[in-house]
Amino acid sequence: MPFSLLIALFLAFGTDSPANLGPIPRSELAPKLREILLGVALVASVAGALGRWVAFRASQRGKPSPGLRRLHAWGARGLEGLTLAVYGWMIHDVGWPWVVHSGWGFRGAILIDEMLILLPFLLMQLAGWWGLYPAERALRIRGDVGLGRHLALKARGSLGMVLPVVLLFAAGQDLAHRLWPKAAESLWALPVGLIVMGGLVLVLSPIFVRLAWPTHPLPPGPLRHRLERLARRFGFRCTDILVWDTGHGVVNAGVTGALPWFRYVLLSDALVDCLDDHQIAAVFGHEIGHIAHRHLPYFGFFFLGSLGVMALVFWAIDVSPLAGSSTALRDDPAVTMLLHGGTTLATVGLYFLVVFGFVSRKFERQADVFGCRAVSCGRAGCPPHLDPNGASGDVPATAALCPVGIRTFANALANVATLNGMEHGRRSWRHGSIARRIAFLEGLEGQPDAERRFQRGVARLRLVLALGLIAAALVAWSNDSFPHLR
């Protein structure tokens, strides 16, 4: 998930910004454009300095060290934060939407105004990728690819899944304002529009994957036959199994598409080349687990259901004592919008960091268990191990976890982390650390009751969270909080 793009979209279109302040003096256009270019140059300078310094340290040491990889990872996160901070300054202090709408006269131009408002963020992202390229090449994060291909892969991977949907949504909003202006300003216009956008993401994401990411079908052979047998065991259907061309710089897999007749499983080129067939089957089983447990539709429900939570948060901020203060500082419209946007962003960001992160980590462990089951023979006395996806395998999909199946998936996780240059103990807000995921799976060996307790716990979490989101939406509707989303 390109989380930084989602935050940038929220900064640009989800908070009040100086876009309706009347005509902008012509004399202010050139200075404001210079400020925008200075912001892009700042991000490019910081990224370039960080990338070259990390590359220099790696060349001095002769090989990348874990500490240097950690430093690069934290530096990349800091650069991402700097990019978002500078973009927020452009939106709320420089008044970039005001420049686009009033100064250049693009208000209401279908897609043009939205793209121009997003352009500084996209330029800063490109500058950041350019600056970090020497470090990523030295650390072998992107493999041995040229700068042009590196930038193209980063852009297609980071923007290709979300940006087309956003553009469709923006075009739909612009057309609605032109054709049905009253309906477009109604209370339910934004929630209904977001529901439509969520549906488009679930249904059309496979198309965007094929268009945005370089892929080709996994060729016929022993590996493909093994994965197809595994899919038949679990009744899993997909349009195709694709190899994702990353220049051998990423070891990963993914699944996209909520509809069985319009779904793809992606295996990166480095994953196919570096893992053995049994481990690839375990990773493939992990992706099947996301579909079998209906994680994708639930995430869609979570984001749409969170509209009620966000409406209540925005309402609480709007009616808070801070919103009603009348100090000289608060009398400045730009400061008012900056404080309001910053408070809103921090609150919503914390909500998604804590709640969405917790649910996502639980879902990842649930998919991990499914990955173990996909390569388990179900025999309590294993080993010796019966290959469940081999030509002569006849293991039911409901088979219990076996020690070899758990170890196969755990080894796959460890290898993926090592090949990607990740430390096993490094935390991830969406996936959890590799070390803790492996320890959890090892704790299930010979403990079927522990697995059943875990599955029941996840089911309770889904139910309680769903009821909470529905309750928040009802409360927001009852006290007219939804208009505060606008």
Q: Which residue from 366, 180, 341 is spatially nearest to 290, judged by alpha carbons?
A: 366
Residue identified by tokens 């419209």 is 333
pLDDT value at residue 173: 67
Q: What is the pLDDT along the chain (486 residues), one digit of tens a residue?
A: 566 777 787 777 765 555 555 677 888 888 999 999 999 999 999 999 999 999 998 888 777 777 888 888 889 989 998 998 899 888 878 888 888 888 887 776 767 888 888 899 999 999 999 999 998 888 875 456 788 888 887 887 777 666 666 676 677 666 666 766 666 566 666 666 667 766 766 677 777 777 777 889 999 999 999 999 999 999 999 999 999 988 787 899 999 887 888 889 999 999 999 999 999 999 999 999 999 999 988 988 898 888 888 888 878 877 766 555 444 444 555 566 566 666 776 777 788 889 999 999 999 999 999 999 999 998 877 888 989 998 666 788 878 899 999 999 999 999 999 888 788 888 888 899 999 999 999 999 989 999 999 999 999 999 999 999 999 989 988 887 776 665
| Unique residue bearing structure tokens 């139910």 | 463
| Number of other residues whose CB lies within 10 A of the CB of residue 161 | 20
At 422, list the tokens. 């990740």
pLDDT of amino acid 234: 94
Cβ-contact 472, 308 below 8 angstroms: yes
Counting every residue, how long is the chain? Answer: 486
| Token pair for 469 | 């989101």
Are 99 and 113 a contacting pair, CB within 8 Å?
no
pLDDT at 327: 47
Pairing of strands 240-244, 264-268: parallel
Output the pLDDT for position 328. 45
Whole-model pTM: value is 0.81
Q: How far apart are CA 462 and CA 352, in angstroms?
A: 16
What SS3 string covers 232-262? HHCCCCCCEEEEECCCCCCCCEEEECCCCCC
What residues are paired with 265 via a beta bridge? Answer: 241, 255
Strand 264-268 and strand 215-217: the pairing is unpaired
Q: Any long-range contacts for 442-445 (C-beta under 8 Å, 24+ apart)?
A: 442/406, 442/410, 444/369, 444/372, 444/401, 444/406, 445/401, 445/403, 445/406
User: What is the model's pLDDT at position 1?
Assistant: 52
Residue 358's pLDDT is 95
Q: Reduce the secondary structure of 208-238 to three states and give it as a string.
A: HHHHHCCEEECCCCHHHHHHHHHHHHCCCCC
What is the pLDDT at residue 275?
96
Q: Give me the pLDDT at residue 19, please.
A: 52
DSSP state of 394: -
CB 198 within 8 A of CB 300: yes
Q: Are strands 240-244 and 253-256 parallel, antiparallel or unpaired?
A: unpaired
What pLDDT is stored for residue 136 in this prediction?
Answer: 84
One-character DSSP codes across 33-64: HHHHHHHHHHHHHHHHHHHHHHHHHHHHHSS-
Tell me the Ramachandran region of residue 22: left when phi exceeds 0, alpha when psi lies from -120 to 50, beta otherwise: left
Q: How far is CA 184 from CA 29, 352, 480, in A?
A: 31, 28, 17
Q: Of all helices (H) and strands (E), which one includes residue 265? A: strand 264-268
Q: Are 360 and 388 in contact (CB under 8 A)?
A: no
C-alpha closest to that of 372 among 400, 404, 409: 409
Dihedral sign for Cα atoms in the order 442, 446, 450, 454: positive
- Cβ-contact 334, 93 below 8 angstroms: yes
